[in-house]
Amino acid sequence: MDTDITTNSFNPSCTPHWEKLHQYSINSGHLNIARMLKQNPGRAEQLRVQWQGFYFDYAKSLIDDASLAELFSLAEASPLKQCMAAMTSGATINRSEGRPVLHCALRDPDNFDIDVDGGNVGQSVKDSLQKIADFSARIRSGQWLGSTGKAITDVINIGIGGSDLGPKMVCQALQQYAQQGINCHFISNVDGAEILSLTQRLNAETTLVIITSKTFTTQETLLNAKTALAWLQEKLGLAQPQNSPHVIGITANTGNAQEYGIPAEQIVEFGTWVGGRYSLWSGVGLAIAISIGYEAFEELLAGAKAMDEHFFNAEYAQNIPVILALLSIWYNNFLGAQSCAVIPYCERLTHLPTYLQQLEMESNGKSVNQNGEALGYNSGGVIWGQPGTNGQHAFFQLLHQGTHLIPVQFIGAVNDDLSNDEHHQVLLQNMLAQGAALMLGSEQADAPGYAHYPGNRPSTTLLMDKLTPFNCGALIALYEHKVFAEGVLWGINSFDQWGVELGKKIAKQLAKDSDNGNWDASTKQLLKLLSKGSK
């Protein structure tokens, strides 16, 4: 293995390809998407990828053949292929935390017969999957009984970050497959109004609490768990509710979970090499398996595995995650776009933009390279969005007539069993219309300025044949690999999140010594107001 992958950082700005792209961007004023499509009848055919049940169209991108070819050359000159191999071999590519990055093993344990931290990765994944299969089957069949002998009807998943966003997003996306009679609820925010209002609506006798924390030290998660356990104790008269059948723990630190009081047989373990935002495929996805069933959960894993194979094996010009990453770099580093809108035309994908915010912004929101040196160029941009058609009546005004360049990623499903033809056709027609309108704009000689649409606004469109567990898994994995490819091309570590730690540290300090006078004048004043409000 090339040692440069784990010891040195790739600097794209030192390559001739970066300089050529810079020159192309200086002269990018001639780029007109509609004109390029008209002058080149084959553009729509050239700038698209068909893969299994997916159709990816990027013909409406603000890029010409020369710039796109240079981006592919940049990818070829980068260590992307070596980094793919390093990731799947168990190399320590998360250098700042000294960890390998093996979330791909979670959906393909048979091909990860490697030892990490004294244990076999493939076998540990199989053991975890067996527990997920067993727990979910018993809960869904009514065999998992609470302390009073009643079957479970409600599951409270308590976690934060990836321990919440992933399973919540997938359960919402695949609600069509959810079992009637079992409701999954998700609590993440430390705002007590959420957990307290939820428990008021539930029956403790038929409620299962899943506490998900990689370290079992996460402040927000443990505070919400404390409140949930107090509720179980009050309603059921349990001296130690965490030792009852009403609680399951999911963690990479089984010692801490057992010290907390959860029996070993009610703990699902995952490896320390599983990053939080890549963890829904692990025991963290237990709520998913409870909701949609273990067979559908396996289909979710199979879709992700298939996308892994596409990413690792497809040529870059036919590789959807790589193309999305290169377009992101083109817009971010050369055309000055600071954000990207992700617009799913599917209400069940409501949580996808929020999920992608964490995946992309926590992964690539970095200002130093792998060696801790300041970057001389921009890295991760801002990800935002919400489902269409609602967005059309909110922020699309800015997309069409605002002063910012904001590439848009449209996502839709060709078929939808939960809708009907009339609704679904109108939905997808709106999606296609928005892409066309952003590109074409509108200018009439006698129209006032406020009626002018400049057009030439870029977008991509990703269509699935249907939102199935398989396609949902592939979609999520697609974005995982897009983020990874971006990180390699920017020369940064996409798998740590040190920026999250400082706020946690200061919050703990404030809790311990809010009155010691060492805080700045603004913080002191705010603390004083909070102190008065709590009395």
For the chain, what is the domain count? 3
Asked whether residue 524 is domain-assigned, the answer is: yes
Per-residue confidence (pLDDT) for residue 8, from 0 to 100: 62
Nearest to 268 by CA among 212, 221, 220, 206: 212
Asked whether residue 60 is domain-assigned, the answer is: yes
Of 126, 404, 504, 528, which one is the catalytic site residue? 504
CATH of the domain at 52: 3.40.50.10490
Asked whether residue 98 is domain-assigned, the answer is: no
pTM of the model: 0.96
393 is catalytic: yes
Peptide bond into 389 cis (omega under 30): yes
Q: How far apart are CA 294 and CA 282, in angstroms?
A: 13
Residues 164 and 188 placed together within one structural domain of the fold: yes
Structural domain harbouring 512: 502-533
Of 220, 269, 298, 362, which one is the catalytic site residue? 362
- Sorted by sequence, the CB contacts under 8 Å of residue 384 that are 6+ apart come out as 339, 340, 341, 342, 353, 357
Residues 60 and 126 placed together within one structural domain of the fold: no
Residues 182 and 228 placed together within one structural domain of the fold: yes
For residue 166, which phi and psi values (nearest 5 degrees)? -65, -60
Q: How far apart are CA 527 and CA 530, in angstroms?
A: 5
Asked whether residue 304 is domain-assigned, the answer is: no
- Tell me how crowded residue 120 is: count the other CB atoms within 10 A of its CB: 15
Residue at which a domain ends, from 297, 330, 352: 297
Q: Do 422 and 471 meet the contact criterion of CB atoms below 8 Å apart?
A: no
Q: Which helix (H) or strand (E) holds 258?
A: helix 254-259
What tens digit of pLDDT does each residue of 114-155 get?
A: 999 889 999 999 999 999 999 999 999 999 999 999 999 999
Asked whether residue 305 is domain-assigned, the answer is: no
- Sequential DSSP letters for 11-70: -GGGSHHHHHHHHHHHTGGG--HHHHHHH-TTHHHHSEEEETTEEEE-TTSS--HHHHHH
- Sequential DSSP letters for 154-217: EEEEE--THHHHHHHHHHHHTGGGPPTT-EEEEE--S-HHHHHHHHHHS-GGGEEEEEE-SSS-
Per-residue confidence (pLDDT) for residue 149, from 0 to 100: 98
Percent of the chain with pLDDT over 90: 88
DSSP letter at 280? T
Per-residue confidence (pLDDT) for residue 2, from 0 to 100: 37
Per-residue confidence (pLDDT) for residue 527, from 0 to 100: 87
Q: How far apart are CA 213 and CA 279, in angstroms?
A: 11
Q: Which helix (H) or strand (E) holds 267?
A: strand 267-269
Residues 292 and 187 placed together within one structural domain of the fold: yes
Residues of the chain with pLDDT under 70: 1-8, 516-517, 533-535
DSSP letter at 261? T
Q: How far apart are CA 356 and CA 166, in angstroms?
A: 10
Per-residue confidence (pLDDT) for residue 516, from 0 to 100: 67
Residues 146 and 255 placed together within one structural domain of the fold: yes
Nearest to 458 by CA among 535, 397, 399: 399
Q: How far apart are CA 131 and CA 264, in angstroms?
A: 12
Residues 456 and 350 placed together within one structural domain of the fold: yes
Asked whether residue 307 is domain-assigned, the answer is: no
**Amino acid at site 423:** H
Of 393, 512, 532, 535, which one is the catalytic site residue? 393
Per-residue confidence (pLDDT) for residue 437, from 0 to 100: 97
Residues 517 and 427 placed together within one structural domain of the fold: no
Task: Assign 3-state DSSP to the chain and report helix, strand, coil percentages, each to 5.
Answer: 55, 15, 30
Asked whether residue 195 is domain-assigned, the answer is: yes
For residue 54, what are its two tokens?
């997916």
Q: How far apart are CA 189 and CA 290, in angstroms?
A: 22
Residues 257 and 112 placed together within one structural domain of the fold: yes
Residues 290 and 377 placed together within one structural domain of the fold: no
Q: How far apart are CA 285 and CA 169, in angstroms?
A: 11
Residues 272 and 350 placed together within one structural domain of the fold: no
Asked whether residue 158 is domain-assigned, the answer is: yes
Residues 358 and 432 placed together within one structural domain of the fold: yes
Exposure pattern of 213-230 as b/e (b: 16+ CB <10 Å)? bbebebebbbebbebbbe
Average pLDDT, the chain: 95
Mode of pairing for the β-strands spanning 48-51 and 54-57? antiparallel
**Amino acid at site 339:** S
Per-residue confidence (pLDDT) for residue 504, from 0 to 100: 84
CA distances from 408 to 326, 346, 436, 518 (A): 15, 15, 12, 46
Residues 131 and 159 placed together within one structural domain of the fold: yes
